Amino acid sequence: MQILNVDLKERSYPIYIGEDLSYGQLCRKALPKCQDVMIVSNTTIAPLYLDKCRSSLEDEGFKVATCILPDGESYKTVDSYMQIMTALISASFGRDCALIALGGGVVGDMTGFAAATYQRGVAYVQIPTTLLAMVDSSVGGKTAINHPQGKNMIGAFYQPKAVIADINTLKTLPEKERSAGLAEVIKAGIIIDGEFFKFLEENADKLLSFDVSLLEQIVYRCCDIKAKVVALDEREGGIRALLNLGHTFGHAIEAFLGFGTWLHGEAVAAGTVIAAKVAEDKGFITKDDVKRICSLLDKAKLPIDFPKNMTGSDFMRLMRHDKKVKSGHIRYVLPTAIGKSAVFSDLSDDYVMQLLETMR
């Protein structure tokens, strides 16, 4: 087992990465005085891991309740959030309870938001079971639910007490979901770590296989990158914004198609290619850099084109609702080299819209 630390002073917490981790023991370390816990999971993950998680927690003296949600991005809604709240209230859980998020990014985001708001805030632990959640969404305290007009529009920054990433849960992950997680992995290399990007290129043929050693290296490196970024900029006032590469365009794709039509990672991949092509047009990166990015995403079986029925004006309309709009300007994260990136807010809507039209 490897351990990283997200250094946020009194709100610091560990990330445990390894195989066959003891959920109960690690949760007890994170929640030494807690008795009542509620596992929040979904209809796909619960049959696979709920019994193991519950018995492990009960072995450590926790009183365990459960809340099982429908699976999918389309259920990351106020209704699902209220289902968690109703379960907590019905169980008579007080402010000394804790929530356990057992699932992927959707479960983690909703559970975190429920924890942030139930009785003005209770503890929670992330147990991510997808690659995307392990390398990205479970770390950093971003919690949210979707609104019909925009992704993650209702949420809070609220840090967990621990993240427990058991690599063995990836054994049951469908290839499509593993590919989606690789979008966030590749993103990390593009924005901040050129050597990591090169490592991914060298291991591209093994990325979709269940190579435990490789996956553990990837999860550790991505969590290390994100932990350091979050420690420097918890609330996305500076460097943390770089983690949004591909997300402004990607969120627009998700909203256009309907949340859940494409997996989040698939939309981020297509959005990353758009950002790379904008960066090439501005002279920040070369055509060869764009080819390398597209090639790696393609080898990970991710889309490198956005839906052809989506126009430049569709993008602009939807990106105007993005959380990252500041003072009326859409903020774009663009690569300035493979391993470097920056935020730009001076690109005109007409310029971006016309460029998007040339990509259709």
For 22-31, write each residue's pLDDT tens digit: 999 999 999 9
**Is 11 an active-site residue?**
no
Averaged pLDDT, 225-236: 95
**Is 321 an active-site residue?**
no
Averaged pLDDT, 11-28: 98
**Is 240 an active-site residue?**
yes
Q: 180 with 156, same domain? A: no
- Calpha distance 226→290 (Å, rounded): 24
Q: 55 with 96, same domain? A: yes
Q: 130 with 269, same domain? A: no
Instruction: Judge whether 208 and 175 are in contact, CB under 8 Å.
Output: yes
- Residue 193 in this model has a pLDDT that exceeds 80: yes
**Is 235 an active-site residue?**
no
Q: Which is catalytic among the residues 142, 178, 277, 331?
A: 142
Q: 80 with 137, same domain? A: yes
Q: 304 with 158, same domain? A: no
- Residue 64 in this model has a pLDDT that exceeds 90: yes
pLDDT tens digits for range 130-144: 999 999 999 999 999
**Is 266 an active-site residue?**
no
Determine the residue type at 38. M
pLDDT tens digits for range 146-176: 999 889 999 999 999 999 999 999 999 999 9
Q: 221 with 334, same domain? A: yes
3-state secondary structure of 45: coil
- Residue 199 in this model has a pLDDT that exceeds 80: yes
Q: 83 with 206, same domain? A: no
**Is 254 an active-site residue?**
no
Last residue of a domain, one of 114, 142, 170: 170
Last residue of a domain, one of 148, 170, 192: 170
- Calpha distance 51→130 (Å, rounded): 18
- Residue 327 in this model has a pLDDT that exceeds 80: no
Share of the chain above pLDDT 70, in %: 99
**Is 19 an active-site residue?**
no
pLDDT tens digits for range 241-300: 999 999 999 999 999 999 989 999 999 999 999 999 999 999 999 999 999 999 999 999
- Is 295 marked within a binding site? no
Which pLDDT value is given to residue 127? 99
CATH number of the domain residue 240 falls in: 1.20.1090.10
Which pLDDT value is given to residue 237? 87
Q: What pairs with residue 142 in β-bridges?
A: 157
If 0-12 CB within 10 Å is exposed, 13-18 middle and 19+ buried, where does residue 352 land?
buried
CATH number of the domain residue 77 falls in: 3.40.50.1970
Q: 193 with 129, same domain? A: no
- Is 272 marked within a binding site? no
Say how many domains are in the chain: 2
Q: Which is catalytic among the residues 161, 264, 277, 331?
A: 264
Q: Which is catalytic among the residues 9, 33, 120, 308?
A: 120
Q: 122 with 13, same domain? A: yes
Helix 194-202 to helix 212-232 angle, to the nearest 10 degrees? 160
- Calpha distance 245→22 (Å, rounded): 34
- Is 16 marked within a binding site? no
Q: 191 with 331, same domain? A: yes
If 0-12 CB within 10 Å is exposed, 13-18 middle and 19+ buried, where does residue 151 land?
buried
- Is 169 marked within a binding site? yes
Q: 120 with 210, same domain? A: no
Last residue of a domain, one of 170, 199, 222: 170
Which pLDDT value is given to residue 322? 76
- Is 29 marked within a binding site? no
Mean pLDDT, the chain, whole residue set: 96
- Is 147 marked within a binding site? no
Look up the domain containing 345 and give its range: 175-359
- Calpha distance 298→301 (Å, rounded): 5
Regarding pTM above 0.85, the answer is yes
**Is 142 an active-site residue?**
yes
Phi-psi map region of 198: left, alpha, beta (phi>0 left; psi -120 to 50 alpha): alpha
Q: 145 with 216, same domain? A: no
